[in-house]
Amino acid sequence: MARRITWNGTTEEALALLQALQAHCECRSDAGRTVAPCAVHVMLTHDQRAIDGLLFMRRMAARLVTEEFEPAEKRPAANAVAV
Ligand SMILES: [Zn+2]
């Protein structure tokens, strides 16, 4: 029985994923039919945890970059360390 995959992101996030997929899809097709799906398409149709992980990291990426490269005094107060 096939697992049901649920998109838990926004429409904007779905469009960004589709754009990335179009740029990196390596499915093999013959006469308009897919004969060998690429790894990305297999993931999107079988791995709920991976899809949720992609969303989580997309949402965390800006925060992680900020924490890594901005000086502590420029970070939002929520990230400040109490002394
Ligand atoms: Zn593909």
What is the domain count for the chain? 1
* Region 38-51 average pLDDT: 95
Segment 11-22, tens digit of pLDDT = 999 999 999 999
How far is the centre of ligand 1, averaged over its atoms, from the C-alpha of 19 (Å)? 12
Give the distance (Å) from ligand 1 centre to CA of residue 37: 5
Q: Is residue 2 part of a domain?
A: no
4 falls within a domain: no
Amino acid occupying residue 9: G
Distance 79 CA to ligand 1 centre (A): 39
- Residue 36, CA distances (Å) to 18, 24, 29, 45, 49 in order: 19, 15, 7, 14, 23
Q: Which of 1, 3, 9, 2 is nearest to 51 (CA)?
A: 9
CA of 49 from ligand 1 middle (Å) equals 19
Q: Is the pTM of this model over 0.75?
A: no
Residue 17 lies in a domain: no
- The neighbour count for residue 7, using CB atoms within 10 Å, is 14
Cα(26) to centroid(ligand 1), Å: 5
When pLDDT is cut at 50, 70 and 90, the band that residue 74 belongs to is confident
Cα 45–Cα 50–Cα 53 angle in degrees, nearest 5: 140
CB-CB contact of 25 with 38 (8 Å): yes
53 lies in which domain range?
Answer: 47-83
